Chains A and B, each alone.
Chain A
Amino acid sequence: MSALGALIRRDIRIALRVGGGALIGVLFFLTVVVLMPFALGPDLALLGRLGPAILWLGALLASLLTLDRLFMADHDDGSLDVILMSRTPLELACAAKALAHWLAAGVPLIVATPVLGMLLNLDGASTAAVALTLLAGTPALTFTGMIGAALAVTLQRGGLLLAVLVLPLSIPVLIFGVAASNAAIAGPLSFGTPFSILCALSLASLVIGPFAAAASLRHGLD
Chain B
Amino acid sequence: MTLSDLANPTRFLSLTTRILPWLAGATAILLAIGLTQSVLAPDDYQQGATVKIMFIHVPNAWLSMFVWGVMSIASLGTLVWRHPLADVAAKAAAPIGAAFTFLALVTGSLWGRPMWGTYWEWDARLTSVLILFLMYLGLIALWRAVEDPSRAARAAAILTLVGAINIPIIKFSVDWWNTLHQPASVMKMGGPSLDRAFLIPLLVMAVAFSLLFVTLHLAAMRNEILRRRLRALQMLQASQRPALP
Contacts and interface: CB of A to CB of B under 8 A. Distances in A.
Interface of A: 147, 151, 154-155, 157, 161, 164-165, 168-169, 171-172, 175-176, 179, 189, 197, 201, 204, 208, 212, 215-216, 219-220
Contact of A155 (B145, B170, B180): B145
Contacts of A154: 151, 155
Interface of B: 79, 131, 134-135, 137-138, 141-142, 145-146, 151-152, 154-155, 158-159, 161-163, 165-166, 169-170, 172-174, 176-177, 180
Nearest to B146: A155
B146 to A, nearest CB: 5
A169 B162 contact: yes
A201 B159 CA distance: 18
A168 B131 contact: yes
Contacts of B177: 175, 179
Q: Which of B145, B151, B154, B162 has the most CB of A within 10 A?
A: B162
Given A154-B155, A155-B151, A219-B154, A165 B142 contact: yes
Contacts of A155: 142, 145-146, 151-152, 155
Q: 4 tightest A-B contacts by CB?
A: A172-B173, A219-B154, A175-B177, A175-B173
Contacts of A169: 162-163, 166, 170
A157 B174 contact: no
Nearest to A213: B158
Contact of A215 (B79, B134, B165, B169): B79
A168 B79 contact: no
Nearest to A160: B141
A157 B152 CA distance: 12
A111 to B, nearest CB: 27
B35 to A, nearest CB: 34
B151 A201 contact: no
Contacts of A157: 145-146
30 contacts: A147-B159, A151-B155, A151-B159, A154-B155, A155-B142, A155-B146, A155-B151, A155-B152, A155-B155, A157-B146, A161-B145, A165-B159, A168-B131, A169-B162, A169-B166, A169-B170, A171-B173, A172-B169, A172-B170, A175-B173, A175-B177, A176-B173, A179-B176, A179-B177, A201-B169, A208-B162, A212-B162, A215-B158, A219-B155, A220-B155
